[in-house]
Structure 1
Amino acid sequence: MQITRMSECSLNTALEVWNMGFKGYFVNVTMTLTQFVKRVANDGLSPEHSLIAWVDGKPIGCIFTGVRDISGKRIAWNGGTAVVPEHRGQGVGQRMMQACLDVYRELDVDVAYLEALVQNAPAIRLYQQSGYKIVNTVALLVRNGPLSARAFEGETGSWRTVKSGLPHEVMSLPFYQPFSTWQTQWQSLAGGESLILYDNEATPIAYALYKRTPDESGITKSIVLYQCETIPSLQNKTSALRRLLHDVYVQHELDCMRMAVNIPVSNREVIGILEGEGFTISEQQVSMMRQMKR
């Protein structure tokens, strides 16, 4: 078996091994070439740091990687590990993971992250054997159709205003979560938006990161929440979260898909509010981390 960098092969080959490698997966993650190119760009994936495994000149597996510098640390993210069905159970995944970790060492990575579906026991076992540990569980919540006219209403809190802006504007907040899962970080949200909630003394007390996607006619077809957090000491936390979630999912009559991606299950307030408005948990993933330096 030979392992090369993804940048050494064509986009079509990389897409082919991705789609074949995820054949029979728990959820459909196959892509068209256009979707593939968009995902590489939006997720900040690096073809020069990603890997393709080959046998007899045919691609049989892949690992997608992204690298970022955050708060003085170099972070790597495994955005997908896949092996084509006929080569599973032959140690391909283990060899690719070791090669991937070698790439991380070359790049002087401090911490490596990835996510895996909770039901994907073989993948979780592979990652644990490669030195990763489970650090959190995150949930995908979904709701289709219009909301009620009184959605997200609740007790009025003592805040002054909500400021809308771009995703990077939350970066300077002292309670911003820079090490949330890769796809929920502000760097992954090109075309996204932010909301910052201020109290009566003009102090920021909560924020949300989200993205609205229109269809071909310009009508919103989906609204996706990525982060919704408050300062830890906030007393009327539920009211603040309701206010932000109301503004994120505004236009209650809009018949579209509303989602919340990779919300930590420990964030019981946000999940509880969303479930109270008819959102359901569609899937859960474990978030895993590996310290690259001892």
Structure 2
Amino acid sequence: MSFAYRIKNEIASNRPFRQHYKKAQAYGLLLYGKMFDAQGISIHTEHKSVARLFADSIADLVGITDSITLREVKRNGKRSMFVVTVDSPSDREAVLRFFGYVSGEDTGHILWDNLSAGEIPAFLSGAFLACAAVTDPEKSYHVEFCIPGKSLCDDLYRLLCENLAEPKITVRRNDYILYYKESEHIEDLLTYIGAGKASLEMMEVKIVKELRNKVNRATNCETANITKVIDASMKQTQDIRLIAENGGLEALDEDLRELARLRMENPEMSLRELGENLSEKISRSGVNHRLKRIAQFAQEIRIKQGGA
């Protein structure tokens, strides 16, 4: 299963979004899907979980079921495409009315009254599911939204700038592309739209790549010592990831939480460098002591889960 596939499955199964922000997420799917107007409402996706989420959300929100069709289209040498459509003209009008569009109105823009501040992450998750692509971080760092209309592109650009980082813009075959190439921006986006596990996975991949690069540069270091540094850093980040996935880093004391975030962001740093970059500088031994406390916290989680 590809990295992009895992991300979209994680978002599609995000329970808080599905239960509490269903309308906002469905709105993002509709606007940035294949088609959204009186002539047709549809989404095309390689992800069955996304197609099912779209169909179920529209049916639950608007109260229509009979005219929603989900079909699988086989493609030679490629993944199947899942296509969801609303076939009845009257049901399409009902969907448009539900989201605040009057008959004949241009739907190529966001109706801002549909979104409160707390609903923006869910809306962006829907837009991501509908039109985003992400590269495997083992190869490169790249995520992009492919948008057919300039107004929708401008609206999404505004949301991303106001809530995350400013994306870059380009045009490709008449489509507008908003994209990030910085790993930190991609990690922040994934966390914001409900793909926290994928964000942590990306951090781990980056850690390994950066450590490998550091190993390659450190020609005067003994292999055994380098391996020890890599193993220690990886063990520490695995402990931090485990804590983040089981209650979050907020469960840690403030001094441990700061060190945990610094380690995740700077896998190549030595213990001495970590200590020098804390808000209140501490010694190498002080850093080592705090990391041992983090490791103990992670071990307690493993014991509760029945593992060692």
The TM-score, its normalising length taken from structure 1, stands at 0.31
Larger radius of gyration: 2
**Higher relative CO (CA 8 A, sep ≥ 6), structure 1 or 2?**
1
Greater share of residues in helix: 2
